A and B are shown apart, each in its own frame.
Chain A
Amino acid sequence: DGGITQSPKYLFRKEGQNVTLSCEQNLNHDAMYWYRQDPGQGLRLIYYSQIVNDFQKGDIAEGYSVSREKKESFPLTVTSAQKNPTAFYLCATMGAGEKLAYEQYFGPGTRLTVT
């Protein structure tokens, strides 16, 4: 079954700790994305990667870091420098769909709570 997995679904951390969110895909897509979503809001782009070993900052990259050592994996680290890390995080890939060119496919998301 092709898809995107994000684990865990819920994550709790103490303030001041770094935390890494996992994103794995077996869709063979080159491009991968991380979005942040706050309650009642839309999606904001944190980082994206077009190919292995390359990634670019999105609109709200401060306090986050990523790596792209292999095509299937794009982990996101929320560092202690991120002032308001509590949010819902969505990972996505982009590839050609059945009928159309280049739609985004989403993972189930990780809900991070920092106290």
Chain B
Amino acid sequence: AQKITQTQPGMFVQEKEAVTLDCTYDTSDQSYGLFWYKQPSSGEMIFLIYQGSYDEQNATEGRYSLNFQKARKSANLVISASQLGDSAMYFCAMREGVDNYGQNFVFGPGTRLSVLP
């Protein structure tokens, strides 16, 4: 079963508008972390935002915010005031557990965001 689901293969948004990228996850762990990464056409993976499972407030980083709904197991990324430079692939990822490394960092299939001028 997929641990991370991103149901939107592609999204379009008008410049300066807000956009929400969906992410749902599946875990039986009580302690986990949720991440969003941006991958522009150059290929590098850029960390955007993190939400811990015990964090009571939604994470925010500049124009990025994470709409965390624990009971629904969703961690949607909201980008406000979209810019042309936001056009990229966006990956939702989850790390299960607190401090063990290993094969417990999983990525979703990604959403390609295109910002229109």
Contacts and interface: CB of A to CB of B under 8 A. Distances in A.
A88 B88 CA distance: 16
Contacts of B99: 101-102
Interface residues of B, number: 24
Contact of B103 (A43, A56, A106): A56
Interface of B: 33, 35, 37, 42-45, 47, 50, 52, 91, 93, 95, 98-99, 101-103, 105, 107-110, 112
A97 B110 contact: no
A40 B39 CA distance: 11
Contacts of A88: 43
Interface in A17-49: 30-31, 33, 40-43, 45, 48
Given A48-B102, A94-B105, A97-B50, A103 B43 contact: no
Size category of the A interface is: 20 to 34
